[in-house]
Structure 1
Amino acid sequence: MKIRITYRLFLVILAAAILTVLSTFFIMQWSVEHGFRRYLHNVEQTQFARLAVRLEAGYAAQGGWDYLKNEPEQWFRLIAETFPQGHPRPPEGQPLGGPRPGEHDREPRPFPPPMGRPPREIGRMFLLLDGNKQPVFAPAEIPVDTTLKPLQYHNRTVGYLGLLPHKRLTDDFQRRFLKDVQSALSLIAGTIVLLAAGLALPLANRLVRPIKALAAATDRLASGEYTTRVPITSTDELGQLARGFNSLALTLEKNEQTRRQWVADISHELRTPLAILRGEIEAIQDGIRPTTPDAIDSLHGEVLRLEHLVNDLYQLSLSDVGALTYRKVELELDALLTAVLATYRPQFAARGITVAATILGEGTDVVFGDPERMRQLFVNIFDNALKYTDPGGTIAVRLTYQSELAAIDIEDSAPGVPPGDLERLFERLYRVEASRNRAAGGAGLGLAICRNIVEAHAGTITAHPSSLGGIWIRIELPLTGRC
């Protein structure tokens, strides 16, 4: 049987409330009864001491205990006068051991025997021993834990007053008092349980409501509704869960948009060279364009462009899934950067682009990297600079070392990129069409590959406006140490 989480929470809250109430009830009941018994014991001890004083005075006045042995009612009178509320007296209006008023013609009614079971069990509670601990008024067997108080006369012990232990309350008033307290505690416990039951269900519904909203939103998100959001109504764990869900939904929405844009861009990039190839081939087939070396060269160029695009896509996909092979060694950046730049100097010179290089290092600063991937990184950046720098411009290359980092700065002159587009330069297939158009070549994948390579080397790559009028690419890589 499937139990809804609302009822589970309800049962948990109700069970916790019942256990708390029961624990409190029994603890309070024990505490009240224990405290009440302790109070009665203290009262008994006080009156017990008072009875001892009266017995000592009686012994001093009578010169012994014979007056109690000969007149047992004296013993009970002393007890009744000392414990007026805790123990019974003779019937109202009748003196202890004497007749009632108006009954002088009858035989005097004797008081119950000392060791019998008089009302309120007087004889079961007290005993009196002489100086030799012989019973004056005492049961046949005296319990071991009986409290004995010595009775003194002229600095000698002439007897012992004993209080027999009793486990049960002996007075109706006392029992009634405890019963009333227990009834009140039971009423309070029942009221609290009813209140807990009445509050537990609304509270459980209140706690489960955000979970239900999250469950419904998760179903919509799983069905492809990436615009789904849930309201954040609290700052607790459920609120954090709602914020996490909204962040997840936003990420999925952006990823879906990126995927659609990716598919559209790839289709566009592939369609253009394929359309050119198809048009030129059909022109040759129809005899509109003769089969000349120039026509073949044009077809070959489109094929190379298509191959370059496919290779870039393949490299980017490998770097995204981490499947690119990196064979890292201790690498001298200054030598590698100088070598790559040397291969591009003739091409820069052919376009009239001035190269200003400041490459520091004498083999003492190394990074832990893959030479081939680092070469691919610099080639992509220099290739970008060559394509997107106007003839007669300038390119500045700097390699410096800052604390534990190696910084590579590559700047070019106009045209530049609007500041709002700089952060998107490393997105795949992104191009600023106003200045970096398809006529210059490339599909906008080079910088995306560069970012993956730098991140694989635990570095960072950023784009900034250049003081030369173009773009400033900054690469920071961690150094492995000093040789």
Structure 2
Amino acid sequence: MRIGIKYRVFLAMLAATATVVLCMWLIVQWSINRGFLRYVNTLEQQRLENLATDLEQAYAEHGGWAFLGADPLIWVRLRVRTPPGEAVDPARLERFERWRARETQDSRNDQRHQPFERRVLLLDGDRRPLLAAPEPAAAVDLRPLRQAGHPIGYLGLVPRQTTFDTYQVQFVRQQELALALIAGATLLISALIALPLAQRLVRPLKTLAAATHRLSAGAYETRVPVAGDDELGQLARDFNTLALTLEKNEEARRQWVADISHELRTPLAVLRGEIEALQDGVRPDGPEALRSLHAEVLHLNRLVDDLYQLALSDLGALSYRKERLDLAAELKDAVELFRPAFAAKDLILAAHIPAAPANILADAERLRQLFNNLLDNSLKYTEPGGRLELRLETQGDAALIHIQDTAPGVPAADLERLFDRLYRVEASRRRAAAPPGLGLAICRNIVEAHEGSIHAAPAPLGGLAIHIRLPLAGGSA
């Protein structure tokens, strides 16, 4: 049988309460029995003190203990403290006579369960019993009776081990019944409180379980209400964060598939149109047609290659063979490689690279890929007659690379997404022949693989500024 978590929590709380109540009931019951017994024994000790005083007075009046045998009623009056001349309670007298008749038999009974009158021991000066059943001295504390400073006898009382009197037993039973009623009421109240409390504690968990089931089924818009700042509230916030992340990832995946389809469709459509034109004789077959087809194939090849490189980078499968390199020298080589292309497009390429080396631990091939992508991106989108400025500087234990160009720029709202895959601001950065939207994403992965950072910002020249931070190797300037 499967028990739900609500009832498990309820049973656990109820079991804990029942254990505490049972322990309290046993301890209080033991305390009442022991405490009441001590109280009764204290009262009887006080009665014993009074009886000792009366016996000492009677001994002085009669000159010995012979009066006890001559008039048994005197012993009864002394034990029940009945003044001389008053009649003895008939019930007590009858009880005394029955005791005298069974004296021999009662001496063999356990005197610890008898009433006060039957547990009193009176011994003479030689410790011989006087009208009382003998009790071993080891079991009874004897109080000496004195006359003129000399012992005339000994008086003792066998202490109670349990209550015997009917009223005393009835009182103890009433207390035990009250304790049992209190324990039962406590358990009932605990059960009435524990069930709704367990239900309240489990309700957020059930809500989270149902939401998790919907989330696993693909409903990424699922959210759960957040109530409180405790652990359950934090769990609900974490769940909502997870759902939001999954929702964004799903949207990015769909957008990624749509963007790839769009980018692949364009060169394929051009190729198809070119080939169909050749087949229909609309376009003559010759070197010019082959050059056009070759350009589209190269376009498609570069797009597929960038997709492959980006996929490897995302998977962490790009190979990096890091070694100690001079970042300034690598950057100079990249700039010199692109100078002819910039000059052909009527663009000024200004590089401010210090002569001092800036040593870093990096992969030379990946660094060249990084610089080529950035310079190529600026070359394609900067308007003719513009300018590109590149600056390298060191700051503490890091090398800083600043690249900025002239118009067109990128709106501030789009700067955060500029490094996303296949993202392009169509309205401000004109489309070029090369496959766009992947170069900057690859650049970010390369920089992060070198434990650096890269971000975009508006350029003072009116275009786009790219800032790169790379850690310097030990011992570099």
Same fold (TM > 0.5): yes
- Deviations along 1:131-188, one digit per CA (max 9) or x if unpaired, are 5544446543416343334445555555443232321102222111111111111112
Distance in 2 (CA, whole Å) between partners of 1:20 and 1:440 is 81
> What is the CA distance between 1:449 and its match in structure 2?
1.1
Amino acid at match of 2:249: N
Amino acid at match of 1:27: I
- Deviations along 1:13-48, one digit per CA (max 9) or x if unpaired, are 333333333223222222222332233334344444
Are 1:478 and 2:471 an aligned pair? yes
What secondary structure is seen at the aligned counterpart in 2 of 1:411?
strand
Task: Give the corresponding residue for 2:313.
Answer: 319
Distance in 2 (CA, whole Å) between partners of 1:4 and 1:199 is 18
Say which is worse superposed, 50-59 or 223-232, in terms of deviation: 50-59
Are 1:161 and 2:161 an aligned pair? no
Pair 128,397 (structure 1): closer, same or farther in 2 beyond 3 Å: farther
Say which is worse superposed, 152-161 or 219-228, in terms of deviation: 152-161
Are 1:399 and 2:386 an aligned pair? no
Task: Give the corresponding residue for 2:17.
Answer: 17
Task: Give the corresponding residue for 2:451.
Answer: 458
Amino acid at match of 1:421: D
> What is the CA distance between 1:218 and its match in structure 2?
2.6
Pair 179,273 (structure 1): closer, same or farther in 2 beyond 3 Å: same
- Deviations along 1:349-369, one digit per CA (max 9) or x if unpaired, are 333433343445734x54433
Any conservation in 2 of the 1:115–1:137 contact (CA below 8 Å)? no
Task: Give the corresponding residue for 1:226.
Answer: 220
Amino acid at match of 1:212: K
> What is the CA distance between 1:411 and its match in structure 2?
1.9
- Deviations along 1:328-381, one digit per CA (max 9) or x if unpaired, are 334433333233233223333333433343445734x54433332233222222
Are 1:272 and 2:266 an aligned pair? yes
Any conservation in 2 of the 1:115–1:124 contact (CA below 8 Å)? no
> What is the CA distance between 1:284 and its match in structure 2?
1.8
Distance in 2 (CA, whole Å) between partners of 1:50 and 1:190 is 44
Task: Give the corresponding residue for 2:288.
Answer: 294
TM score, norm. by length of structure 2: 0.86
- Which of 209, 234, 245 is matched with 2:239 structurally? 245
Task: Give the corresponding residue for 1:86.
Answer: none
Task: Give the corresponding residue for 1:204.
Answer: 198
Distance in 1 (CA, whole Å) between partners of 2:233 and 2:7 is 22
> What is the CA distance between 1:306 and its match in structure 2?
0.8
Distance in 2 (CA, whole Å) between partners of 1:156 and 1:338 is 127
Say which is worse superposed, 115-124 or 164-173, in terms of deviation: 115-124
Distance in 2 (CA, whole Å) between partners of 1:132 and 1:326 is 112
Say which is worse superposed, 338-347 or 172-181, in terms of deviation: 338-347
Task: Give the corresponding residue for 1:84.
Answer: none
Amino acid at match of 1:322: G
Q: CA RMSD in A?
A: 3.3
TM score, norm. by length of structure 1: 0.85
Task: Give the corresponding residue for 1:338.
Answer: 332
Distance in 1 (CA, whole Å) between partners of 2:236 and 2:324 is 47
Any conservation in 1 of the 2:302–2:434 contact (CA below 8 Å)? no
Task: Give the corresponding residue for 1:436.
Answer: 429
> What is the CA distance between 1:445 and its match in structure 2?
0.6
What secondary structure is seen at the aligned counterpart in 2 of 1:296?
helix
Pair 98,381 (structure 1): closer, same or farther in 2 beyond 3 Å: closer
Any conservation in 1 of the 2:115–2:165 contact (CA below 8 Å)? no
Distance in 2 (CA, whole Å) between partners of 1:481 and 1:42 is 90
Distance in 2 (CA, whole Å) between partners of 1:455 and 1:477 is 9
What secondary structure is seen at the aligned counterpart in 1 of 2:16?
helix
> What is the CA distance between 1:472 and its match in structure 2?
1.9
Any conservation in 1 of the 2:41–2:159 contact (CA below 8 Å)? no
Pair 132,97 (structure 1): closer, same or farther in 2 beyond 3 Å: farther
Pair 115,276 (structure 1): closer, same or farther in 2 beyond 3 Å: same
Are 1:41 and 2:41 an aligned pair? yes
- How many residue pairs match? The answer is 466
Distance in 2 (CA, whole Å) between partners of 1:371 and 1:189 is 81
Task: Give the corresponding residue for 2:8.
Answer: 8
Say which is worse superposed, 171-180 or 13-22, in terms of deviation: 13-22
What secondary structure is seen at the aligned counterpart in 1 of 2:474?
strand
Gaps of 5+ in 1: 82-88, 101-106
- Deviations along 1:249-305, one digit per CA (max 9) or x if unpaired, are 222221111111111100100000111111112212222222232322221111111
Amino acid at match of 2:445: N
The 5 A counterparts of 1:34-433 are 34-56=34-56, 58=58, 65-68=65-68, 73-81=73-81, 94-95=87-88, 112-113=99-100, 121-136=115-130, 139-142=133-136, 144-152=138-146, 158-360=152-354, 362-363=356-357, 366-433=359-426
Any conservation in 1 of the 2:121–2:135 contact (CA below 8 Å)? no
Pair 368,74 (structure 1): closer, same or farther in 2 beyond 3 Å: farther
Say which is worse superposed, 144-153 or 278-287, in terms of deviation: 144-153
- Deviations along 1:166-218, one digit per CA (max 9) or x if unpaired, are 21102222111111111111112222323333344433333333333333323
Distance in 2 (CA, whole Å) between partners of 1:452 and 1:366 is 21
Any conservation in 2 of the 1:124–1:164 contact (CA below 8 Å)? no
What secondary structure is seen at the aligned counterpart in 2 of 1:225?
coil
What secondary structure is seen at the aligned counterpart in 2 of 1:482?
coil
Gaps of 5+ in 2: none
> What is the CA distance between 1:430 and its match in structure 2?
0.2
Distance in 2 (CA, whole Å) between partners of 1:234 and 1:45 is 64
Sequence identity percentage: 54
What secondary structure is seen at the aligned counterpart in 1 of 2:427?
coil
> What is the CA distance between 1:452 and its match in structure 2?
1.6
Any conservation in 2 of the 1:77–1:96 contact (CA below 8 Å)? no
> What is the CA distance between 1:53 and its match in structure 2?
4.6
Pair 276,115 (structure 1): closer, same or farther in 2 beyond 3 Å: same
